[in-house]
Structure 1
Amino acid sequence: MTHTSPSGACLDEAQQFLAAHPDAPAFDIVMTDCHGIGRGKIIRRHELEALYRSGRPIPTNIFAQDVTGRDVEATGLILEDGGADQRCWPIPGTLALQPHVNRGQVLVSMFTDAGLPTDVEPRPVLLRQIERARQAGFTPMGAFELEFYLVDPQPDAQGRHGPARYPLTGRRPIGPNALSVDELDEVSPLFDAIYEGAAKLGLTLESLISEYGVGQFELTIRYRDLARAADDVIIAKRLIRSVARRFGVEATFMPKPFGDQSGSGMHLHLSLADSSGANLFADQPDNSLSPLMLNAIGGVRATLGETMLILAPFLNSWRRFASAVYSPASDSWGVDNRTVALRIPGTPGVGGATRHFEHRVAGVDANPYFVAAVTLGAALDGIRNHRDPGPPTHGDGHAEGRGRSLPRSWLDAIDRCEHSAFVREILGARLHHAFLAIKRAEYEQLAAQATAVEWDHYGFII
């Protein structure tokens, strides 16, 4: 195998793909920014081998942009080194075909001239925590669940988007239809195409669920090593959005697109394995829960308030917590309880060999690399310090209200993140500074705008 890349990618991978797909004319090269958005270029077929031989320059200011792609000068990254590019190299194992567009796709990561990962990219943030876990004898394993809405791209007379029509029948959903198999049948042509694309992209999508909101769905992704689990989210969201558009609808990953409907989360399932692959969170011989897992949960609880900006990074993220419909804005934990923030699925003694915990707070808008990094980092701290998670919640966790240690708003979360030594250590000083500068710029921009709702409430009344 010919290794030419600091990322570990091999030229053989590109050559074998070109031979297997002689009709693929172009390739999406995708770099993930601070918001979890794929940015990059589409290159032609004859350029692929050069990507593997010598990388591809991309401007570093990709990590200094707000969610709309505008530069934020306060990050300090805009004109660094005169606005020079740095080289991006393929992430091994991510080169695959997108069958619905007949283009290839490969995720890339940015490196310095010395061959080191750049310190302002999200993916290396997670890789550092994974290496820390390996040094302690752990292999992090995980998977994400994605909730999202399918909506009509054409707004109504009031300028609002509504649920999309079903591709099979053309009917429009008129109310909640949670867990309806018939509804899944009506959208099956679209999801059949998504599953076909996922198979080609090396992405194992599993259960499809009709969720609690009108036009809301959930897809689960197969459990695997944590770095690839986070990669899976980037690949899955691009695939879902792209296929939906070819059916004349849009997939929205806003966490709260409709105020009267349930929000969309991105639940992270996490466990630690040993060097042989055995689950270290498995139940004890007496069917009790793993002390290691409980210490990990204790660590995550201890830092949850500081990490809320990671878990809820946008203004719309905080609308998801306005109504508690399986959207826990708390630091509670419990067993087989969907109203808590940190849930242990199942009951002790049942399925104990595959035991793990589920972090349910993050919205589907969050960056999966950041979410996985702060969760793993906090879990490792909890294990190292033998942190007690405290008593579990029984019954309705929403009745307990929001944890007193948690931020109350987006601005509060920005302030908490700014003063968090934990988040600064996880992200690194430069990325921590840049991320906060972006969030403050977004907050200030939106705070200065009068919304349509404000006009409805106040415009001709007060």
Structure 2
Amino acid sequence: MTTTSPSGSTAAEAEAFLEAHPEIEAFDIILHDANGIGRGKIIRRHELLSFYNNGRHLPISILGLDICGEDVHETGLIWDQGDGDLRAWPIPGTLKPLHNTQPPRGEVFMSMYTLDGAPMTSDPRHAMQRQVDLLAQDGLHPAGAFELEFFLLDPERGPDGKMQPARDVLDRRSSRKTEVYSVDHLHGMLPLFSDIYAGAEKAGIKAETLISEYAPGQYELTLHYRTDVMQAADDLMRLKRIVRAQARAHGVVACFMAKPNENYAGSGMHFHVSMLDDAGKNVFVEAEEGKWNPTILHALGGLKQTMGESMLVFAPHANSWRRFASQSYAPVSPTWGVNNRSVALRIPAGEIKARRIEHRPAGVDANPYLVAATVLAGVRKGMKEQIDPGPETTGNGYADEDNAGIPSDWKSAIDAAKRSDFLKNALGEDMHRTFTAIMAAEYARVMRTVSEVDFDLYLHTV
């Protein structure tokens, strides 16, 4: 049993933090499961040094839970293991103060390890790190950033029982319009967004551009591009917690469902990614603008070829699949193009030195660690095998009816993911088994639930 932190964390980090923040009384210690849900404990100030010195025992079953927090026995992480304890350790650099909490609190992310210090391979963060390490063996280092789209909703439902956009926190004004790119519309939420930016700054996150998006109550925050792609995933996870907490403090609901309103666009989690060599040079950059570097084309080829069997990672829940509709700004076929928002894989316009791929299929309800692991594995496969992505899609990508094996529904995506050797290699065998078992259990839960739709369609008609 190791007593040395396998994550590389040190007590010195905790001691320096405690000295710098004498006001903080407690800490959220957070482990992210297959669904991206933060699970863990709140510990008191005097417990922090012990956590850094000895880790924290947590049951192995914490990584085998469904969306409702119930055991999924098919993961093999419950009674097959006797539901024994493993040990979670803090992740270096993730100890941060929280904004606008009473009493003052901090938070720290953690990862799960076996008692002898080996990575617990059903931890999503370890799955992503494995792909980062494999690329490093090839002299490549992924850089990137995620975009965060979300809705701000009223805590009370409307007369029709549907969720409704939140009133402005400034003056309680309401709007049910699609206020896309309206700057004046943003002003009504500025007190909330000021707190979100303050929380991000405290956490060392460079939250950048704010946009009113393409649905009533929908917004987008962009994040600063990171040369450390793991930091980019951590930023996204932490920013979601910040948005949710500050929205709650202002009396509104932050919603990270992929599709909370059937009549409007859903929320994506676009992942921008590039590859740097050992000298820090972007290997996707072309020598002459418009004459594409074969490396970026091969990366696109790998992503395009593996997209169908990977869709469960990008769209893990029943609601995820409501987002995919023609002309909805969510991709419906494995297309690539330049400066084109109708495709799944986009090369954005911009300076050559910033050349990157924008991966657009994932919804905001997806787990960014698993999304990144899968995308990096697809990029690596494409570059190693020199996969041709085929011709660029120009114009309306929704007119392309060749879905090239993209599942048409959630059940098909679960079946495709279970069969996929690529996804097994991308996530690792244990994470693959855990993730697909949890999604299959959620599918069974949804299918056995009698919903209001059932009564609306069938109660008086069959």
Q: Are the equivalent residues in 2 in contact too, given 1:329–1:402 (CA < 8 A)?
A: no
Paired letter, 2:367: N
Pairs within 5 Å for 1:219-238: 219-224=221-226, 225-238=228-241
Q: Does 1:11 align with 2:11?
A: yes
Name whichever of 447-456 and 247-256 sits farther off.
447-456
Q: 1:426 Cα shift? A: 1.6
Distance in 2 between residues matched to 1:234 and 1:359, nearest whole Å: 18
Distance in 1 between residues matched to 2:73 and 2:459, nearest whole Å: 34
Paired letter, 1:78: I
Task: Provide the alpha-carbon RMSD of the alignment.
Answer: 1.3
From 309, 326, 343, the counterpart of 2:346: 343
- The equivalent of 2:310 in structure 1 is 307
- The equivalent of 1:34 in structure 2 is 34
* SS in structure 2 at match of 1:175: coil
Q: Are the equivalent residues in 2 in contact too, given 1:7–1:91 (CA < 8 A)?
A: yes
Q: Are the equivalent residues in 2 in contact too, given 1:287–1:352 (CA < 8 A)?
A: no
Q: Encode CA deviations 1:150-170: one digit per residue, 9 max, x unaligned.
A: 001122344322110011121
From 251, 264, 267, the counterpart of 1:264: 267
Distance in 2 between residues matched to 1:291 and 1:85, nearest whole Å: 48
Q: Are the equivalent residues in 1 in contact too, given 2:289–2:352 (CA < 8 A)?
A: no
- The equivalent of 1:182 in structure 2 is 184
Pairs within 5 Å for 1:60-459: 60-101=60-101, 102-224=104-226, 225-285=228-288, 287-346=290-349, 350-401=350-401, 403-459=403-459
Paired letter, 1:450: V
Distance in 1 between residues matched to 2:83 and 2:312, nearest whole Å: 28
Distance in 2 between residues matched to 1:237 and 1:25, nearest whole Å: 23
CA separation of 1:42/1:398 partners in 2, compared to 1, >3 Å: closer, same or farther? same
CA separation of 1:263/1:402 partners in 2, compared to 1, >3 Å: closer, same or farther? farther
Distance in 1 between residues matched to 2:370 and 2:332, nearest whole Å: 18
Distance in 2 between residues matched to 1:120 and 1:144, nearest whole Å: 23
Distance in 2 between residues matched to 1:459 and 1:402, nearest whole Å: 38
Q: Encode CA deviations 1:234-292: one digit per residue, 9 max, x unaligned.
A: 10111110110000001010000000011100000000011221211112146522211
- Give the total of aligned pairs: 457
Paired letter, 2:451: T
CA separation of 1:287/1:308 partners in 2, compared to 1, >3 Å: closer, same or farther? closer
Distance in 2 between residues matched to 1:394 and 1:293, nearest whole Å: 18
Q: 1:323 Cα shift? A: 4.5
Distance in 1 between residues matched to 2:74 and 2:406, nearest whole Å: 27
What fraction of aligned residue pairs are identical, expressed as a percent? 47
Q: Encode CA deviations 1:377-433: one digit per residue, 9 max, x unaligned.
A: 110111011111100100010111361311010000000001000111122222212
Runs of 4+ in 1 over 6 A off after TM superposition: none
Distance in 2 between residues matched to 1:292 and 1:354, nearest whole Å: 15
Name whichever of 260-269 and 427-436 sits farther off.
427-436
Q: Are the equivalent residues in 2 in contact too, given 1:4–1:11 (CA < 8 A)?
A: no
Q: Encode CA deviations 1:9-41: one digit per residue, 9 max, x unaligned.
A: 121110111011101000000100000111100
Q: 1:440 Cα shift? A: 1.3
CA separation of 1:200/1:4 partners in 2, compared to 1, >3 Å: closer, same or farther? farther
Distance in 1 between residues matched to 2:294 and 2:116, nearest whole Å: 42
Q: Are the equivalent residues in 2 in contact too, given 1:4–1:52 (CA < 8 A)?
A: no
Distance in 2 between residues matched to 1:390 and 1:413, nearest whole Å: 24
CA separation of 1:323/1:394 partners in 2, compared to 1, >3 Å: closer, same or farther? closer
Distance in 2 between residues matched to 1:68 and 1:402, nearest whole Å: 36
Distance in 1 between residues matched to 2:241 and 2:358, nearest whole Å: 24
Distance in 2 between residues matched to 1:287 and 1:306, nearest whole Å: 30
Distance in 1 between residues matched to 2:420 and 2:241, nearest whole Å: 32
Distance in 2 between residues matched to 1:136 and 1:388, nearest whole Å: 20
Q: Are the equivalent residues in 2 in contact too, given 1:141–1:270 (CA < 8 A)?
A: yes
Paired letter, 2:292: L
Distance in 2 between residues matched to 1:355 and 1:228, nearest whole Å: 20
Q: Encode CA deviations 1:155-211: one digit per residue, 9 max, x unaligned.
A: 234432211001112111121110000011111000000000000011110111000
Q: TM-score, with normalisation over the residues of structure 2?
A: 0.97
Distance in 1 between residues matched to 2:14 and 2:352, nearest whole Å: 41
Q: Are the equivalent residues in 1 in contact too, given 2:334–2:404 (CA < 8 A)?
A: no
